[in-house]
Chain A
């Protein structure tokens, strides 16, 4: 195995393009090193992206915020501005693993590992986040929901790296939230999860995005659930419609951690609760 730590994203993409064997990106290593240990991945090349300045930065502009691909969960949680503007995204990311894991794990790694139960992904999709994808010859910006195509599968080309995640600019009357169900209080993988992001106008929901995790091969955006609450003050009737739309959108597996019936039902319950938190954070009453 070769280890490379390039200084620019383009260099990283070029290393990936030139490698004939198995090449992997190393950010926090909380998935890659586990797979290497278990013999599930045998890299010929590991490209460490943590020496790339753009990967380590959190920045803000007129269009929103940008979080580098190597920013750890701990660094995200310590960023007061993002905790205030996108609490749901930060909380979702901070739910991943222990403090030890938080020191290393990244949102982009969570995304590219492509687990259907990844915690940060439904929150990012609900937020309308985008990925800045850098290849050896071109750059493109891709909505997060277009990155994961199935369990362990992404739409990225062999020479592409995600340099950063962008979050849109935030108005005052806006809020987001993420909830997951696990049978313990810490250190577990979501059985069902829900991310909700909404904005208000005169106390009424103006826009909404609702995304579910762990109930389908990928995280799923549920436009019907958003439609159920747009134009409402999140009254009980709207919440019931939201829950029904979420349950209807589920296509989960049956496993030891949750049955199909259970996951379908809990998806609606969690979406309702997350919507209430997001509504409150947006200043709704």
Chain B
């Protein structure tokens, strides 16, 4: 079987790898690139554990072929950390106990970040709808929603401060 050579950008870094044409982005990220933050829950686009961004858009990496990401920008949970500092959403998930087993957490973080980028002050209802594609079997969601609310407040405060400066 012939493999495809994929040149892409992941979390800002240029990456090249070869894989079979039927391999999903999820499998390439985990097994070839070594980014194991992305998780496989269902493998059929229902649970959101494998959420990544592709050219800034939120999607399930289990429903993307690696061959499709040639020349594009992939974002994973590993890219949310800046200069060794956790993202405000990650801090908020810890502070608000928004995780237990942690399998769904990277997907929730990526999805919540995608939401806050397009809507910095979402209502609870908007948060619940935006995270409807992410399943969590531990928390019952309330703490996750609260963590996103707290993080959005923090991030708005920070962006105000930087604007003043």
Q: Which of A1, A34, A50 contacts B45 (CB 8 A)?
A: A34
Bound-state CA distance A46–B133 (Å) is 26
Q: Which of A1, A30, A46 contacts B63 (CB 8 A)?
A: A30
Q: Which residues of chain B from 79 to 126 have any CB-CB distance to chain A below 8 Å in the complex?
A: 111, 114-115
* B65 touching A186, Cβ below 8 Å: no
Tell me if B48 is interfacial: C-beta within 8 Å of chain A. Answer: yes
Closest Cβ of chain B: how far from A99's Cβ, in Å?
5
Closest Cβ of chain A: how far from B41's Cβ, in Å?
12
Interface size class of B (residues with CB under 8 A): 20 to 34
* B44 touching A29, Cβ below 8 Å: no
Tell me if A137 is interfacial: C-beta within 8 Å of chain B. Answer: no
Interface stretch of the complex, out of A54-62, A100-108, A142-150, A242-250: A100-108
Q: Which residues of B contact A101 (CB under 8 A)?
A: 45, 60, 63, 133
Closest Cβ of chain A: how far from B35's Cβ, in Å?
18
Q: Which residues of A contact B48 (CB under 8 A)?
A: 98, 100
* A26 touching B132, Cβ below 8 Å: no
Closest Cβ of chain B: how far from A48's Cβ, in Å?
6
Bound-state CA distance A38–B63 (Å) is 12
Given known A98-B132, A99-B130, A101-B133, contact A3–B4 (CB-CB < 8 A) = yes
The count of chain A contact residues (Cβ–Cβ below 8 Å) is 28
Q: Which residues of chain A from 1 to 29 have any CB-CB distance to chain B below 8 Å in the complex?
A: 1-3, 5, 26, 28-29
Tell me if B10 is interfacial: C-beta within 8 Å of chain A. Answer: no
| Chain B contact residues, majority secondary structure | mixed
* A3 touching B21, Cβ below 8 Å: yes
Q: Which residues of A contact B22 (CB under 8 A)?
A: 1, 3, 36, 43, 46
* A104 touching B63, Cβ below 8 Å: yes
Interface stretch of the complex, out of B51-59, B139-147, B150-158: B51-59
Q: Which of B1, B45, B68, B115 contacts A30 (CB 8 A)?
A: B45
Contacts beyond the supplied A100-B45, A100-B48, A104-B63: 15 A-B pairs with Cβ under 8 Å: A1-B21, A26-B65, A28-B63, A33-B63, A37-B43, A46-B22, A50-B68, A97-B133, A98-B48, A98-B133, A99-B111, A99-B115, A100-B63, A100-B133, A103-B54
